[in-house]
Amino acid sequence: MNFRSLTLKYLSWCPGMESTARFIPNKNIPDEKLISYIGGLIILSCSINYIVAPPYNYARDLDFKNAKYDSVYKMYVRETAGNFGGVNRLKIWVNAPDNTTVQIIMFQVGNENYPRAIWTYKNGVFYYAGQPLGTQIDDEWEFIGHYVWRVFSESKDTVFHLRTEFIEYNLRFPHGSQGG
């Protein structure tokens, strides 16, 4: 491939392009070399994006007006998801009618049978493993990868609120280790 002839072929209509094309080397570049250059640029740009790209923060409010009914749980179900890499502040709260049970299951994609957390919300209080947690969940968690929050509610008048805020990357290896 010759970039000078390619430039002249497609951009010769532009004033001054013939003069500018003289600064492009008049050489044929083998296709194999060009493919390796393009591949290298793609890998480099993905790496730069991973290093420089800002982390994701999520704000989700799920209502159950048009939710599907799950006959196994005998509740309405909604889902939300996000892609994470690092330590995040996790804040969850629920607006639900009195005596409504809400079940929240959080799992990593691919590990649906091994949830990271299961919370129950009833009468304004969250419970984890039967222990009361309070009126909302507000904690720091490390998330690496794609996570899903599957929310079940007995009432269509429930609104589930989820906020995540990126705090920092965990530079320790393996992720989540307490050693320094």
Question: Residue 110 sits in a domain of what CATH number?
Answer: 2.60.120
Give the pLDDT score at 167. Answer: 86
Using a cut of 0.85, tell me whether the model's pTM lies above it: no
Containing structural domain, residue 94: 58-168
Does the residue 175 lie in any domain? no
**Same domain for 119 and 74:** yes
Residue 50: pLDDT band by 50, 70, 90 thresholds? low
> Is residue 178 situated within a structural domain?
no
- Residues contacting residue 121 through CB under 8 Å, at least 6 positions apart: 94, 96, 101, 102, 103, 104, 127
Between the two ends of the chain, the Cα-to-Cα distance in Å is: 52
Structure confidence by residue, pLDDT tens digits, 108-118: 988 888 888 99
The tens digit of pLDDT for each residue in 68-114 reads 999 998 999 999 988 887 888 999 999 999 999 999 999 998 888 88
Reported confidence tier of residue 177, pLDDT bands at 50, 70, 90: very low
